[in-house]
Structure 1
Amino acid sequence: MATIYDVAALAGVSAKTVSRVLNDDSAVKAGTREKVLDAMSRLDYRPNTQARQLRLGARTSVGFLLEDPTSGYQGRFHHAMLTACMESGKYLAVELYEAGMPDWQAYLDRFITDAEIKDMVLLPTLCDFGPLKSFLKSRGIHCVLISPSTPDSHYPSVAMDDRLAARDVVEYLFQLGHRKIAHIGGHPDHAASILRRNGFYEAFDAAGLPRPPAHYVEHGNFLFKSGFEAAERLLGLKDRPTAIFACNDEMAAAACSVAHKMQLRLPEDIAIVGFDDAPISSSVWPTLTTVRQPYLEMARRSIQIFNTESDTLIASDRQIRHIIAHEIIERETTLAPALDKPQRQARGKA
């Protein structure tokens, strides 16, 4: 069985540095951290978390609730949390949670007790569910909220700036020469949908350009079917857009399918941008330009908060909102529009 000294030798660092990586020390340089993690992976090294808990007095079980494990967002964040917990020597305890489920308090009480949970990460939309947060607080559970719709003064939160990311997408399309840009929004009850739509409009305002007409803005629910139906309406317009910005990758992939159905070329006839960098974004053809959410960085920051701020997670009346930077991943579905060429007639449902 590999030891911490084996990892240190393979990574070319000291055992103390490996220990600092395991303890999620923010002072460790990113390149060094990656070398250590690579060595751990190659040696199949597993830290002795029970020994670390006795030595450090650390809480090692992190609770994580999933409403829809099949969704691209929750699936990617689940993987990021597994990685972050592995790096820091913690266990990730995962449970399904359905909104409106009967006896949910007793259900969660058993989960918390059986897994010995003291820390929990809450994704949207659970991070905005007041009764759940009140229940967890009554049990003395330390919580970190991921992208809540509004900051909660009782809990620290980790998020990316959805509004800025959407604005950056539109400005990126402006740089490519697009002006006729449509938007497929997400579920109207989700804060991210509102923020991304606001960012979409703000980009036009900042550029001194008129906002797109109302029929250029469709509303979906983050699902493929809703994106397909919205894209059919947009690409069936007589004055159809040259670009579509969808609120997530599933709906953007659906828009690609509609473009293929109508025999439109991607990206020459229509450019498409998604959001999230879900697996589907790199598996569709052409590959999808998208916004990469910093899942792993957000998960790591959450664990770091538990490691360094646990004593104040409940006591403080003011908590920090940690903003993690996003990134636009440019792939094959974006290109400057062929403004000097007449638009091809779309074929299919109008």
Structure 2
Amino acid sequence: MQENSPHSKVTIKDVAEKAGVSAMTVSRVMRNQGKIAPETRALVLKVISELEYEPLSSARNLSGAYSRTIGIVIPDANDFREFRHGYEYEYALLIGALNVCKSHDFAVNIIETRDVHDVNLLVRKVLARQVGGYIVPAPASEYLDLLKTLKEHDLAFSAISAFDPTHADLAVVADERSATRTLTGKMIELGHRRIAFIGGTTRHRATLERQAGFLEAIASHPDRGRIEHAVHDCNAFFDDGYEMGLQVLSRPDRPTAVQCLTDDIAAGVIAAANRLKISLPDGLSIAGFDNFGLARKITPALTTAGLPAEDMGEAAALQVIDALEGRCRRAVKTLACNIVVRDSIARAPGW
């Protein structure tokens, strides 16, 4: 028989796996809801007894202590979509969260926040048992007052890509710094000694992490003294990349390689290079970041790093559910960003 020590608590997944059913079925058996075959119900109850499964969620559900709805907090919906240049970031996060919540018999509710009144409303929804906890993705996770308010009221929430994850007990981040360092390093190894970084404002975590990775790749290279580099800040959209690309690539000492903050900016730089009749990738190598649909649709297909948005939504949902069910209240989950090499980078001219 398995022991229920604080460090080896039996979870609903353990019960589901041993019984050969879904976690949702286990949850419904425990709450005596839904149409479940008598033999399935008997098997699940037998496994619960054998494993001595005693989740805090059982007692809480019976007493109505928390809602089985998780709120996903976003700023104004239009701003949220613009933050990642369309629906892809938003869609991937939601799909990840929905998949986990569905498997654990939780509902999902999208909640907009625009001002202090809305932040206080988040607290009232939990106290009124309309929502159990929250997922707070960027850019909402970069509002420190929002995170502080949720934490002060001891609410279960997970912050995704927070500007400062220390303001949340539960957080999910992507290792954007390492991925950008790898991308920049690849271009250095291809002989590029004039390299630029284009994109970003210091208000966002992504900017700080990706720019830091760019600078670290140069500082750690044995040939760093011969590498000319510059960081050019701009907003994160196609038009911004295009305008900044025209400025940077029109200079006599223009870079032979550009690392961009996002794929959208990279597409703008590619458009600028085409206007200036710069050959790609022979005359200019370009790398982006995010690896949403755009990266493989443009010409040349973009070398980039994948932001694991769907996985981040899944991880955040699991953190909130674990917190509500008494398994974990403090954790930071870091996910890797996979490198995808396509046609947009090549050896430096003359290398």
- TM-superposed CA distance for 1:19, in Å, is 7.8
Aligned to 2:112: 96
- Contact 1:188–1:221 (CA under 8 A) maintained in structure 2: no
- Contact 2:238–2:268 (CA under 8 A) maintained in structure 1: yes
**Does 2:339 match 1:324?**
no
> Aligned ranges for residues 240-319 of structure 1 at < 5 Å?
240-310=254-324, 319=330
- What's the C-alpha RMSD, in Å, of the aligned pairs? 3.2
Which of 150, 161, 173 matches 2:187? 173
Q: Max radius of gyration: which structure?
A: 2
Change (3 A) 1:212 1:332: same
- Contact 1:142–1:313 (CA under 8 A) maintained in structure 2: no
**Does 2:66 match 1:51?**
no
> Aligned ranges for residues 31-180 of structure 1 at < 5 Å?
51=28, 54=31, 57=58, 60-67=68-75, 68-72=80-84, 73-98=89-114, 101=115, 103-105=117-119, 107-108=121-122, 116-137=130-151, 140-152=154-166, 154-180=168-194
- TM-superposed CA distance for 1:176, in Å, is 2.8
- Contact 1:120–1:144 (CA under 8 A) maintained in structure 2: yes
- Contact 1:84–1:296 (CA under 8 A) maintained in structure 2: no
Match of 2:272, SS state, is: helix
Count of aligned positions: 297
- TM-superposed CA distance for 1:162, in Å, is 2.1
Match of 1:321, SS state, is: strand
Match of 1:276, SS state, is: coil
Where does structure 1 lack aligned partners over 5 or more consecutive residues? 1-14, 24-46, 341-350
- Contact 2:138–2:160 (CA under 8 A) maintained in structure 1: yes
What are the Cα deviations for residues 123-147 of structure 1, in whole angstroms up to 9, with x where unaligned? 2243243321233345553011112
Which of 201, 221, 234 matches 2:235? 221
- Contact 1:291–1:328 (CA under 8 A) maintained in structure 2: yes
Distance across 1 between alignment mates of 2:102 and 2:125? 21
Aligned to 1:36: none
- TM-superposed CA distance for 1:282, in Å, is 2.4
The normalised TM-score by structure 1 is 0.73
Larger deviation, residues 106-115 vs 285-294: 106-115
Which of 164, 189, 209 matches 2:203? 189
What are the Cα deviations for residues 216-253 of structure 1, in whole angstroms up to 9, with x where unaligned? 32101212222111111111111211111111111111
Distance across 1 between alignment mates of 2:30 and 2:151? 23
Aligned to 1:202: 216
- TM-superposed CA distance for 1:90, in Å, is 2.7
Distance across 2 between alignment mates of 1:95 and 1:288? 34
Change (3 A) 1:50 1:332: same
